[in-house]
Amino acid sequence: MAQLFFRYGAMNSGKTIEILKVAHNYEEQNKPVVIMTSGLDDRDDVGIVSSRIGMRREALPIFSQTDVFKKISDLTVKPYCVLIDEAQFLKKQHVIDFARVVDELDIPVMAFGLKNDFRNELFEGSRYLLLYADKIEEIKTICWFCHKKAIMNLHFIDGSPVYTGDQIQIGGNEAYYPVCRKHYLHPPL
């Protein structure tokens, strides 16, 4: 029975590596998968899933107007699984459409992304995945500054923490640290 999974974690928790690992495991058994990612993430070009350790792979980009249910249902080969990177950038309709992929097409969907932004507010995609997902799992990592579990993302510019601004600001290690609550509120920068 297919399910909608949401696997979330702070920055640098290995979400993309997990997607690439899951895809490899399916494909090693000759079971095709579809990898999708947000069209907003252009750090390594649009439609590319890439990890910090250098692994990368092409993916179908999702834009605000993308009908993901139609895109999956129109495929000539039914995938064994749909994997989504940067799921926090999904819109409510995308999440509902992915739930339809699970319920109507009987294809498991695994969405990976951040739960909260650098302002410590939920992203739209994350909010609706938390509501619609059959299974929710946290991918853990440790705080940049101590040994505690990182549960927040600290944004910084020129060495100073930033807590305001547009929710979507694409970046990686050069702009964000995974941090615990203590170091989110009181970073040792």
Alpha carbon distances (Å) from 67 to 6, 39, 88, 90: 20, 13, 17, 11
Could you say which of 86, 104, 138, 174 is catalytic?
86
Q: Is 138 among the residues known to form the active site?
A: no
Measuring CA to CA, which residue among 184, 154, 147, 152 is closest to residue 171? Answer: 154
Q: How does DSSP assign 10-66, residue by residue?
A: -TTSSHHHHHHHHHHHHHHTT--EEEEEETT--TT-TTEEE-TTS-EEE-EEE-TT-
Q: Active-site positions?
A: 86
